[in-house]
Structure 1
Amino acid sequence: MLIALASWSAESRARPAAPDPASITGDDRGEEAGLPYIQCVPYARKVSGIQLYGDAHTWWPQAAGHYARGTRPKAGAVMAFRPYGAMQLGHVAAVSRIVDSRTVLLRHANWSPIDGRRGQPEDNVRAVDVSPANDWSEVRVWYAPLGGLGTTHWPVSGFIYNRKPLANERLTVLASAGTPAAKPAYTSRIGPDFLKGIVPETTRTPARRQYALRETPVTVTPSLKNDPIGRIIASRLR
């Protein structure tokens, strides 16, 4: 009996109380300890109806041209997680409900260990957008062993919707794929009538110079021939 208790105590110390979900990959295969092992990919495919295959991190590029994609959550859409840390294969989860602009409920599998077992499905668990711009590029997700949201900010590529992309959506994807954003064209704040009345220099006639600038003043002697008052004043000054 003592030997059995010692063995159980050692095993419990070796097993972490709350495994990090980052250690759960998006496309683990097989069964664990003889129990059914549900992967996130087939579960997301089943509950969303989106027919994509392969590792979770390939769903986002695979959807291009086949399914509409975007950055806003919608019921039935698949949230595509990017690989992060030890979660090397990414993750996919279906949105079951929109709660508010920052909160959704998810249906996914192989995230939280439940009753000590990995690969279990979870329905209607909370995910919260923690991105600064409220664009759902980072989320915190409910983690069962903690009984609340995990502390990790998981990176998200976006949402895959179960419908065909529109023409303008395809063009947007093509324009944004690997292409730096173009600088906006400069718009002048000068009104269209700013140049009215301005004559080009080539057509202007130079004004005639009226005065010549000289270094010394020039004394001009007026003619007294037609100035009788001037003659009187001049005679008195002699």
Structure 2
Amino acid sequence: MLQRRRLLLLLSAAGCAQRPREPSEAAAAPLPAGISCVPFARALSGIALAGDAHLWWHAAAPRYRRGTVPVPGAVLVFRRSARLPQGHLAVVVRTVGPREIRVTHANWASGSARGQVAEDQSVVDVSPRNDWSSVRVWHPASGTLGVTVFPAWGFILPPRPADPAELAARVPVAARLAAGTL
């Protein structure tokens, strides 16, 4: 019981300031709202880090492998920027090609979707060195890839790659954990 309270306290204290994205049309059931990217990424990926999203990259160094090649279950860490003052985290759910992945993340799009989970959203590497240090993210409101280029650190790798179907099945539980309703 004490561990659960600690987890809930950590989940409620962490977060990032970016506005959310609408969930994809593939979402099977309504997920809770009011979720930040940090507790959601932690719950979905199993990578046990805390603090603002932009701090995860350096915090991961002693405990997790980091890299520039995405694998399912890895966490893409967005750097701090004017548009992302606390950074952002997104969990890789599958790779589409060498420069495109799909992520599931929370609290990304603007408007009425504040704090929502967006599933299976496209992220494209636009970095000159093909190292995922600059990315563009799907923009649900326009139905296209967003025009903003976001700086990224890279990927915090999970202890073992996850199966995309397994990740998709864990989204509702991760969302409820992140919202403090489980």
Question: Are residue 67 (structure 1) and residue 64 (structure 2) matched?
Answer: yes
Structure 1 residue 130 displacement after superposition: 0.5
How many Å separate the matches in 1 of 2:108 and 2:139?
A: 8
Instruction: State the Cα RMSD in Å.
Output: 1.6
Equivalent of 1:161, from 157, 171, 174? Answer: 157
Structure 1 residue 112 displacement after superposition: 1.1
Question: Are residue 49 (structure 1) and residue 81 (structure 2) matched?
Answer: no
Pick the structure with more strand per residue.
2
How many Å separate the matches in 1 of 2:33 and 2:103?
A: 21
Structure 1 residue 113 displacement after superposition: 3.2
How many Å separate the matches in 1 of 2:121 and 2:113?
A: 18
- Tell me, yes or no, if the aligned pair for 1:103 and 1:127 is still in contact at 8 Å: yes
Larger gyration radius, structure 1 or structure 2: 1
SS for the counterpart of 2:141 is helix
Aligned to 1:27: 16
How many Å separate the matches in 2 of 1:83 and 1:120?
A: 21
Structure 1 residue 27 displacement after superposition: 2.0
Equivalent of 2:114, from 100, 113, 118? Answer: 118
Structure 2: runs of 5 or more not aligned = 1-14, 18-31, 161-182
Q: What is the TM-score of this pair, normalised by structure 1?
A: 0.53
Q: In percent, how many aligned pairs have the same letter?
A: 48
Q: Which has the higher contact order (CA 8 A, sep 6+)?
A: 2
1:146-205 Cα shifts (integer Å, max 9, x gaps): 1111101110101001129xxxxxxxxxxxxxxxxxxxxxxxxxxxxxxxxxxxxxxxxx
Q: For 1:9-20, list aligned pairs within 5 A.
A: none
Aligned to 2:105: 108
SS for the counterpart of 1:146 is coil
Aligned to 1:179: none
The runs of at least 4 aligned residues of structure 1 exceeding 2 Å deviation read none
- Tell me, yes or no, if the aligned pair for 2:135 and 2:151 is still in contact at 8 Å: yes
Structure 1 residue 143 displacement after superposition: 1.4
Residue 67 of structure 1 aligns with an amino acid whose one-letter code is Y
Question: Are residue 127 (structure 1) and residue 135 (structure 2) matched?
Answer: no
- Tell me, yes or no, if the aligned pair for 2:75 and 2:157 is still in contact at 8 Å: yes
Aligned to 2:140: 144
Residue 129 of structure 1 aligns with an amino acid whose one-letter code is D
Aligned to 1:217: none
How many Å separate the matches in 2 of 1:89 and 1:121?
A: 18
